[in-house]
Chains A and B, each alone.
Chain A
Amino acid sequence: MSELTLTVMRLGFLAVLWLFVIVAVQVIRSDLFGTRVTQRGSRRGGAGDGRAQRAQAAPPQQRQQQPPQAGGRRADRGRRGAPTKLVVSEGTLTGTTVALQGQTISLGRAHDSTIVLDDDYASSRHARIYPDRDGQWIVEDLGSTNGTYLDRTRLTTPTPIPLGAPIRIGKTVIELRK
């Protein structure tokens, strides 16, 4: 065997050896698994305003207490006595609060609602609560099966919500508070 052949084989073997290691590392790289974060594009056009974006950015099931944030009072600038939080006062989610930061809050059994209602009498997309241009909070029934009640009256049109008035959805009652 000539010296040259042996040298070529020696270096060739090392190259192949390292190639094996590199391929193995590449397999590890392509093997990272776990949770995958996908960007969802614009799913459906609609009449929602730009502020609605933040509504869905919040995790859908907010069971924890969320203190009202100072930065979230943009909507009620210029209005004294505007509500700062939404409180669930009856039903399985009693005690849940959601800070009102100018976002649209959707209510229903659908898992992507802002407040997911575990309530047999609620529809998937039951109602939504949103601020109008003046910062007045409006509740709107989304054609639910059993209807949305503000105090004792069943809603037919989007209606402004007075502070502290109970909104009944199935067995759940929510109200806006300061």
Chain B
Amino acid sequence: MSAISPMPNMPNTTNTTTISTEGPPSRRNTELALLAFAVLIPCFAYANVGLAMDGEMPSGLLGYGLGLGLMAGVGHLVVRKFARYADPLLLPLATFLNGIGLVIIWRLDQSPRLQARKFFTASATNQLMFSALGIALFVAVLILLKDHRILQRYTYISMVAALILLVAPMFFPAKFGARIWITIPGLGSIQPGEFAKIVLAIFFAGYLMVKRDALALASRRFMGLYLPRGRDLGPILAVWAFSILILVFETDLGTSLLFFGMFVVMLYVATERTSWIVFGLLMSAVGAVAVSTFEHHVQERVTAWLHPFDAFKDGSSDQIAQALMAFGSGGVFGTGWGQGHSDLIGFAANSDFILATVGEELGLAGVMAILLVYGLIVERGVRTALAARDPFGKLLATGLSGAFAIQVFVVAGGVMGLIPLTGMTMPFMAQGGSSVIANWALIAVLIKISDTARRPAPAPAPSPDAEMTQVVRP
């Protein structure tokens, strides 16, 4: 007797549908093609700058192109080996931004106006070195972090580490009006806030994963909003107080906004309660207004934001005014590489204000393209969060891409005069070692999560159809 009975006249099954999960392909070759594209565009820009400024091909083109290509190649090979199913877009987009940033920094190094400044140092070579260090950290994270869920074990250690990273700069002298640097004599200075961003995202993800039910469900409904219980408000109040403290003692509006914003985003994603967003916005508004009334540095920033062109009258820093004029003179299509006057911004033209150079030399079209690339990175991060199967990975990817988005918004908004300027750097583009290294690490964590998320699920258990039917023995 056969186990599987024959079907003499099964009904015909026309026009039916099967819903099955489709195994995502690894997409590594797409990534390689995009990566080649992402290396060639900055090379084009580099040649363009040289041709426009000196009338000849720049001598460093080969070295620069090879350097960027080598970094991209190493990154790609490691992704191919250690994160086979990772998202194909994250690495090319980050490489592209890093390359464009290097070109702009080099272009500003060539400016005679900046070279005449007292503290001028050519920073393109340094930045290339920091980018290489960033790629090295990227590679290290991909190789050493076998699975992002391991990070979950370090939830509270991350909290302590983030606190140390954030508090440490208080004990070092202020630089440019903000205490966000740790200065090691002879070695240079690092900006721990950039690293704290990642570490804090790990803590928030681990914490909210455990506490989200209490935060989401134990609440009263009032005027259409779910009000959380008093004791569940504790963590958000603590984070809020902490970010206010950073604001007061380190006079760093950007970092405090970044951390508080990241926490609110993750809280919202974890609990699906709109009330957290309302609370967060209210609290950050109250905090910012309160601090700006008595903190001199913050007040200065707000005044410079409200009246940027007063600088020409009273002789204070005219950076914001110059940045606005750079955007204005760029128009829709820009002046072309190397032909703008964004070097008038002077100090920090190649770090905080780097977007102004894009705005002047590439115009609105260029700024939009760059912002879209940032947007695509954030989108891939959120897509990773959607595809991730574990709540910790979901929250971590959301937090990291949320922090990335907030940072881009805060910097771009500050440079364009939408919000008060804060001392933050445009991820990947701005000159600054800590920023580029930390952001490469951030991309590495996202790539690792997306690798786990997109990895095809293990084959399902063998179908019951294949088993033998047991025969009833009377």
Q: Which residues, 32 to 69 on A, are CB-close (under 8 Å) to B? A: 33-49, 52-53, 55-57
Q: B11, B12, B51 — which one has the most chain A CB atoms within 10 A of its CB?
A: B11
Question: CA of A106 to CA of B16 in the docked complex: distance in angstroms?
Answer: 15
Which residue of the partner chain, among B14, B30, B471, contacts A53 with CB atoms under 8 Å? B14
Cα distance, A128 to B11, chains bound together (Å): 10
A24 cross-chain contacts in B, Cβ below 8 A? 34, 89, 92-93, 373, 376
Instruction: Give Cα distance in the complex from A56 to B307, angstroms.
Output: 70
Is the CB of B9 closer than 8 A to any CB of chain A?
Answer: yes
- On chain A, the residues within 8 Å of B44 by CB distance are 13, 16
Shortest beta-carbon distance from A178 to chain B in Å: 25
| Complex CA distance for A173 and B137, rounded to whole angstroms | 63
Knowing A46-B9, A123-B4, say if A17 contacts B362 (CB, 8 Å): yes
A7 pairs with B17, CB closer than 8 A: no
Quick check: which of B21-29, B216-224, B289-297, B406-414 contacts chain A, the rest being far away? Answer: B21-29
A46's contact among B6, B12, B89, B333, by CB below 8 Å, is which?
B12
Q: Which residues of A contact B107 (CB under 8 A)?
A: none
A52 CA to B11 CA in the complex, in Å?
6
- B80-97 interface mask toward A, CB cutoff 8 Å, 1 = contact, 0 = none? 000000011100110010
Residues of B within 8 A of A (CB): 1-22, 24, 27, 30, 34, 37-38, 41, 44-45, 48, 51-52, 55, 87-89, 92-93, 96, 333-337, 339, 362-363, 365-366, 369, 372-373, 376, 379-380, 383, 387, 454, 463-465, 467, 469-472
Q: List 27 A-B contacts (CB under 8 A).
A: A6-B336, A6-B339, A10-B48, A10-B336, A14-B366, A16-B41, A17-B369, A20-B96, A27-B30, A28-B379, A28-B383, A31-B87, A34-B22, A35-B19, A38-B17, A41-B14, A42-B12, A42-B13, A48-B12, A55-B11, A56-B16, A106-B11, A128-B10, A128-B11, A143-B7, A145-B5, A146-B469
Give A contacts to B, CB under 8 Å. Answer: 1, 5-7, 9-11, 13-14, 16-18, 20-21, 23-25, 27-28, 31, 33-49, 52-53, 55-57, 104, 106, 108-111, 118, 120-126, 128, 130, 142-146
Top 5 A-B residue pairs of the complex, sorted by shortest distance between their CB atoms: A48-B11, A52-B11, A10-B336, A36-B22, A33-B24
